A and B are shown apart, each in its own frame.
Chain A
């Protein structure tokens, strides 16, 4: 009996050892496979130029390169009828805050957002409504390592874009101040650095490229893009998209920008005063109960 027990035990240990070995080997092979075939990020690809990688890196991590930014930009996005000016005042640092105003081309304020370190507010001046909610996000306690791929394909072959959180909740201001979306437009083979230019008295790196995301190209009604990226911070200073007839379909242009200006952050700490006739459409418990009731009603109808 004892011999049989020992035989079972010995076989189990050998089996464990072998399986463990193959698991590790499989994991290593899978990692290698992930690294070689699934990684999509141009950060990992063999770039034709170091500057391509560094520009994209700068854009993806722009919030690390300044403490505060104030200014404005104009966005003309023809496919969706947008012609607006965005004023921004964003403070990164230890106590992130933001105040962003969106105006139409006649300077009428359409919308405002503000973050005071705890609450996020969005005011819709057109509809005279506002949303005010506590923010849920925790700070990313583990910084994205330099070798962490920012985009890759998952096991289902779907693209995943790893975005850093904006601790200041700057909304549309991030189109220029934290241009991760536009950084992801740059893939290894679809763009090139064409030179440097001075914009707003700042040195910008100029990139020309071609859309390789057909859905994005369709949405933007464009085939090509040109970006001017601030060399120091990675901020998007200008973007122009054109279609096959070389007509401009979308443009974003920073009108003014100042980094790390001494500013009174306390003004950003106070939640924006909302006109008394505006309606609070923030979600509350009573709305949740209403939703459950509506759901039951829908189910009963069906």
Chain B
């Protein structure tokens, strides 16, 4: 009898366990310079300086580029399901001073990036800052940060840390 009671309990837990896993949508977070096991990739063009040991930054590292350096930093978010997502960016370093850091999204199968919005990296509070909400197409997705301060200032820097969809 004890055996059957245990079996019954195990069965119920297995069923409920599966249900509790299927709960709403969760964020996909990709950091700069991701590890190979993270399911994320990165790429960039220009002199994005890598900085480690940064206590405030996500996983204690980030990349920055000065205006003259340009041009883009890209997070490969991997394959995501179709739907809607909110792009959030992690900003928590005094190096990040671009007042209009522009973020784009590229879906697999499209031939052009789409503009999501800008973040004032100079005045935003430290933490996760929302950029915008967009549709997601099923498949690979990339988040791209344009690394130039388009006002042509020479002493601002654009920062790339973690992003979340």
Q: A interface vs B, CB < 8 Å?
A: 4, 7-16, 19-20, 23, 77, 79-82, 84, 102, 110-111, 113, 120, 122, 124-127, 131, 133-138, 140, 154, 158-163, 165-166, 169, 171-172, 174-175, 181-182, 184-185, 213, 215-216, 218-220, 281-285, 288, 291, 294-295
Contact = CB atoms under 8 A, between A and B. Distances in A.
A175 B123 contact: yes
Interface of B: 1, 4-5, 7-9, 11-13, 15-16, 20, 43, 45, 56, 71-72, 74, 84, 88, 90, 92-94, 96-97, 99-100, 102, 104-106, 111-118, 120, 122-135, 144, 146, 148, 150-156
Contact of B15 (A16, A81, A165, A282): A16
Nearest to A127: B152
Given A20-B16, A80-B122, A161-B124, A215 B92 contact: yes
Interface of chain B: mostly helix, strand, loop or mixed = mixed
A182 B154 CA distance: 25
B12 A16 contact: yes
Contacts of A110: 151-152
Contact of B132 (A20, A165, A172): A165
A205 B130 CA distance: 27
Contacts of A7: 1, 4-5, 8
Contact of B134 (A120, A136, A162): A136
A284 B94 contact: no
B126 to A, nearest CB: 5
Contacts, number: 189
A125 to B, nearest CB: 8
Given A7-B4, A137-B133, A291-B43, A166 B128 contact: no
A283 B97 contact: no
